[in-house]
Structures are given as structure tokens and as C-alpha cells.
A = this chain, B = another copy of it.
Amino acid sequence: MTTNTFSEIPASMRAIRLTDPQDKTSLELQEVPTPTLREGEVLVRVQAAGVNRGDLLQAAGHYPPPPGASEIMGLECAGVIVDAGSTNQQPGTPVGCLLAGGGYAEYVAVPEGQLLSFPSGWSPAEVASIVEVACTVVSNMQLAGLKSGDTLLVHGGAGGIGSFAIQYAKALGATVAVTAGSAEKLEFCRQLGADILINYREEDFAELLKNKCNVILDIMGAKYLDQNVRALAMDGHLVIIGMQGGVKGELNIGRLLSKRGSVSATALRARDLADKARIVADTERLVWPLLVDGRIKHQLHTTLPLAEAARAHELLANGDVTGKIVLSVA
């Protein structure tokens, strides 16, 4: 490490650790070694870290970090570069970061390709709320080829992914249908631009949207597989990014074939560095201008101190959150 800010970096830092692997609520601030940098990484002092459902899964033991990634939770953050390592980055630069882990901490090592600039006017908490959802939605909408005039169905429209996906798809010129579990959440979706509002507790989205959806962004997996295929339009593409409704489901191949449909299932976290760098660059190119001109707004539900990670997880798990929760790091 060779930068002028090296002297400011302590050898240890505070980070959230799961102290009892059997208890997903045992999230405590502990002293741990500050990360060391690998080739191509910079050290970022974290100001805010986004909370994602993936973090809840990791705390519950269901979503281990990919090989080589930090054991610490936290899939996105905003902060300031304090050590540029072997890169040409400038210490002092504010950055948003896509992480394979490590965001729930005072410092995190970040591959250079996973840094994003600060959209002007955005705070660290706001930036930390949008990196992961933006990269996830952009990469999956590219895969599915969403374009102006298409109809997109977003399940869980009021969640972190959903609230971003609605706005992004509207900015692209798509018609957006959403599902959510309450009238309040649907109203939240409507205000974000959603055109077709479906309360999944009361209505069958597959009937309402039969053969109509060019693209579906799904987080339910098995539970919605058959209904999603029914809702697909000709040449439609179902992209599954969550399995909140189970892992194995019956696929009606005959129905899929009659529509020339596609089903993909993807995860961002396990992608390799080159893939992530491409997605981050595409996201900055496609989304950041929309953040600056206000066509996409952050959906920051609330900010809690890092020490209250357990409470943040509880809030998200309880399902009363619209948009995102962010942890602020002193």
C-alpha cells in the first residue's frame, strides 16, 4: 500500500458479525481486521451500506458468500476511497460499490470494476440504496431484451428490486404490471409509475395478464412458475432472480413452446469480476443519467446505524418495508 492516506487506516475496524451461526438475529458489531487489498482492489471507507434480502438469507445460513469473497454481509455500499492500491483511482473519491460481501463494516476492499461514481446531488445513503438493485435489474432486463412498448410484470413491486424495476422500465418506455400484497403497497407502486396493479392475495395475475407479458421479473420461483408461463406473451422471457416460493416447480414445456418462451434464472453475486465490471459499467451508463435528472428516485425507506443491523433485518423480514433499508456507518 503506497498512498498518502495509508496512515489514517487502522489495522482493525468494526463490522457486523453473526456471533451464533444458529441464530440469524445474532448480529453484533465486533472488532475485526481491516481488509487487505488484492490486485485491482481499492479500500473504501464505508459511509452507508444497503440491506438486501440476500443478507437475510446469508444470516440464516442459506446464501454463503462465493469463494474468495468477504464473510461479512453487505452487498452494496457508498463511501470514499482511502487506498487506491495498485489502481489509478484517486483517494478521496466518493464511490458507490457493488460487493460480493463486506459492506456491513467500516472498510471494504472493492474490485475497481465494481466502483460507480456519485450521481450529483445524491447522499451516501441514497447511493447505497440503489447500486445492487440497479445492477440486478439492468443485467436481467438486458438478458430479457426489455424494450419500449413491451409489457413487464414485476413481482413484489414495492420491494427493493421491484421499486427500482418499475421506474427503470417506465423510463425505457415499457408498460409495467406489478404484484404486491396490500393496497398500500400497490399505491406505492402506482406512484412509482406502475400501470397495472395486482393484489396477489386477491387476484390471479396469470388470468389478468394471460399471454400479455413480454418480460417477467420474478422473485417467487416455483410457486409462480406455471402462472408466469401462462402470463408470457409470444416470444416472452421469464427471468427468475428469487425463490421465495420454492426451488422446484412443474414447467409446462408445451405451453412454453407454443409461445416460443424462455425461462432464465440468474444471480449477480457469483458472477466473475469481468462480468460484474461489464454490468456495473452498463448500469452507470444506462441508469446514472436517470438518477441525476430525477427520472429514477431512490426509494430509501429508512436509515439505521450499522450497530442496529439486527433490527434492520427484522424490519425487512417483517415485510412492512417499501423500497430499501440502509445502514449508516459513522
State the A residues within 8 Å of B (CB).
221-222, 225, 240-241, 243, 246-254, 256-258, 260-267, 270-271
B248 touches A249 (CB 8 A): no
Given contacts A247-B254, A249-B253, A257-B266, 14 further A-B contacts (CB under 8 A): A222-B253, A248-B250, A253-B265, A256-B264, A256-B265, A258-B267, A258-B270, A260-B264, A260-B265, A260-B266, A260-B267, A261-B265, A262-B262, A263-B264
Closest 5 CB pairs of A and B: A257-B265, A247-B254, A251-B251, A262-B264, A256-B265
Given known A260-B264, A261-B265, A262-B264, contact A243–B253 (CB-CB < 8 A): yes
Q: Which residues of B contact A265 (CB under 8 A)?
A: 253, 256-257, 260-261
Q: Report how many copies the assembly holds.
A: 2
Q: Which residues of B contact A258 (CB under 8 A)?
A: 267, 270
Q: Which residues of B contact A247 (CB under 8 A)?
A: 252-254
Please name 26 pairs of A and B residues whose Cβ atoms are closer than 8 Å in the assembled complex, sorted by A. A225-B251, A225-B253, A240-B253, A240-B257, A241-B257, A243-B253, A243-B254, A243-B257, A247-B252, A247-B253, A247-B254, A248-B251, A248-B253, A248-B254, A249-B250, A250-B251, A251-B251, A253-B265, A256-B263, A256-B264, A257-B265, A257-B266, A258-B270, A260-B265, A260-B267, A262-B263
A221, A252, A256, A262 pick with most chain B CB within 10 angstroms = A262
Q: Which of B251, B261, B266 contacts A249 (CB 8 A)?
A: B251
How many whole Å from A255's CB to the nearest CB in chain B? 8
How many whole Å from A63's CB to the nearest CB in chain B? 11
